[in-house]
Amino acid sequence: MTTGILYIVATPIGTLNDFSPRAKEILSTVSFIACEDTRHSGKLLSYFGIKSQFESLHTHNEKNKCSYLIDKILNSATKSAAIITDAGTPCISDPGSLLVAEAHEKGVLVQSIPGPSSMTAALAACGFIQPRYLFSAFLGRTQKEQFSEFEKWQAVTPCLAVFFESPKRLLASLKNLDIFFHEQEIKICVSREISKKFEEHKIGLIKEIIHYFSEQNEIQGEFVITLNLPKNEMMAKSIEEAAIEAERLSEKGLPLKIACKEIAEKYNLNSKELYNKINKDR
């Protein structure tokens, strides 16, 4: 039997009128609100006349504070609390998932109050259609880390691949996309300032988008990038078919390891696995 409730409440990412009446009502009646930045959230909720108590919950304290917050819910007057983030839906590339997991574990009811989310807003606005999408949050900083993520996308094409990016890293990440997908004409949508005055969804080939943002004096905004990835024919080869192709190269005088490396790169396979497969079958 549940003895308390934790609400996951989305807050505006731009226009304040996106704040739903239900969200405001819940935040006004819970015993306390867990939030990333009490000062930032304090200004937002003060604007709406919400006076509930705050508890800080961010990346650096979430792991050690969850049990305390669950106990506080269970011992509070309303036996209820809410979690919010600085903007948008909590627990998506923001703190909160650990608290939600512990709430489930301790029998505290969890309810998600739908509202603003830059990810879903960008997906809706891009106009791309594929049977699935992958969300990668923020990409790694190095080219190697990003290429590793791009390989995962390729493995499940056709799909939409979605990630967040900061203004300072936008061009670098776009250039890495261009390098990795240079053999394909990939359309992307770069969404920024969603639900704000200068909202924009720029669509084009990767090179076109790089040129567009390179021409701007200053890149501003919070970005969501969506790639429209068609079925990657280069991924269609099975390891058995690739092994045959590598052996043919080897028969022409190319060392087997080098042949495996070339074929593996061509079809985005693991060269060591391919090499071992050939040796095992011999």
Structure tokens at 119: 């990810």
Q: Name the band, by pLDDT with cuts 50, 70 and 90, for residue 151.
A: confident
**Rounded Cα–Cα distance for residues 50 and 61 (Å):** 25
Tell me the pLDDT tens digit for each residue of 88-145.
999 988 889 999 999 999 999 999 999 999 999 999 999 999 999 999 999 999 999 9
Pick the CATH number of 5-116 from 2.60.40.1180, 3.90.480.20, 3.20.20.70, 3.40.1010.10: 3.40.1010.10
Q: What are the phi and psi torsion angles at 172 (to 5°)? A: -60, -45
**Rounded Cα–Cα distance for residues 137 and 11 (Å):** 19
**Rounded Cα–Cα distance for residues 152 and 162 (Å):** 12
Nearest to 206 by CA among 192, 193, 189: 189
The CB density around residue 71, as the number of other CB atoms within 10 Å, is 12
Does domain 119-232 fall under CATH 3.30.950.10? My reply is yes
pTM equals 0.79
Domain ranges of the chain: 5-116, 119-232, 237-281
Return all residues near 39 (Cβ < 8 A) that are at least 6 apart: none
Tell me the pLDDT tens digit for each residue of 45-76.
999 999 999 999 998 999 999 999 999 999 99
- The label of the residue with tokens 């300032």 reads 193
CA separation (Å) from 140 to 31, 147, 156, 169?
A: 38, 9, 20, 11
Q: Is 104 helix (H, G, I), strand (E, B) or coil?
A: helix
Q: Is 109 helix (H, G, I), strand (E, B) or coil?
A: strand
**Rounded Cα–Cα distance for residues 135 and 116 (Å):** 17
